[in-house]
A and B are shown apart, each in its own frame.
Chain A
Amino acid sequence: MNSAAFIVIGILTLAAALAAATLPKLMHAALSFAVTFLGIAAFFFLLGAEFVGLVQVFVYIGAVAVLIVFTILLTRRDIEKDRGFNWSGVVVAIGVFGGLIWAIFKTQSLSGVAPEMPVLTVKHIGEVLMSGYVWPLLCVGLLLTAALIGALILVMEDREEVKKVK
């Protein structure tokens, strides 16, 4: 059952990723990219990591995909135009893929049988985050706050300039 689900989800995710890379219309590519995110979330569910899967849907489809779509809409004037084929992208993709494959096969723990994992609840994750990993968590929080304030400053209108325009 699980391996069948793995294959089905894998095919769907790969197909969506391929579509995202090859579809002629940029908006279609962005939307199929969202499907790829969903496929990755499904993998997390399959592995029993419900929390990570839900966060994947929440952050990547709810925020990142919407952001991508809006960026395309607001910045590009040639949404409808066909884009050409980009060979440098293929080279970079093959390079990254090869690097990852090499790193995965070098991993020592891969050869052994996967250890039996206890069911991970949200509560456990919260406890671990708040005790052992509290410093990384706070640093990420600080970074995100800084990013938020930076974004605000970027879009903030200069009062003086606004008055001059009037």
Chain B
Amino acid sequence: MSTVFITHNDCLSHTTPPGHPEQVARLEHVQQALDAPEFADLLREDAPLGTDSHILLAHPAAHIKRVRDAAPTEGTVSLDPDTHMSAGSLTAALRGVGANIRAVEMVMNGEVNNAFCGIRPPGHHAEQEKPMGFCLFGNVAIAAKHALENCGARRVAIVDFDVHHGNGTQSLLWDESRALFCSSHQMPLYPGTGAATETGAFDNVLNYPLPEGCTTATLQAAYDGEIFPAIEAFNPDLILVSAGFDAHRADPLAGLMWEVEDYIWLTKRICDVADKVCEGRIVSTLEGGYDLDALAASVAAHMLVFMERGG
């Protein structure tokens, strides 16, 4: 039993316009960080391509068609002011879906304890029929549905600690009583959703908005006070993590003040909860994080905890 890192170099072929924060260098920095000697024992897999049948677990066919039709053969096209596609974007996005599918299967089959998908574009803003916020397909919602429909999970909990609210995951799982979606995020901030009053069709959504400048004490109160107890009560068979690292104090797109140590604490506590309720089964997926050094350091710290706990 161990930890797997699933990625694919096709995710480097999703290019965005010059100056765009969701850039190729993000994943390059993550991959370089995980090439360090302390990760020598890390199990690595290339992400397979996700299929339409996987995406259809969470999106209607019209969404797949829209994204496929929008894909350019050269240059970039803009789907909205934030969200762009290049010639390599569709394949990159399908690798992102495939990474999540493979990770869920490996963890649910007991091949590994936990997994991290180092992919881009991210996914948690993509709604049913709307790519947005750098995202094309709802990777984590698809992973949740795959675990529930095809891998024997009775319930799945999601922890979304990206600094932006995971509106897409929330909307894709709004009426899925077997999924508990928990999100901490700065508010007000993009995308404008994520109020504590948004609770899902089955009380299966838990939003915890955080004020600008939020540091360790508030973070720990949010998770230990509300989010982790809710997950323990839900008693899932798998925990999925939307791992955005843009709540880091160095991030240019938000105003929270987390440090690498906070991501270590958070990852350890997620592992504690997973050990308690689901034999340590965790699948984590890269979402945001736009300061390249902070991103690389935070992902490395996240992975070291996974390896320590999954080994």
- Real complex partners, A and B? no
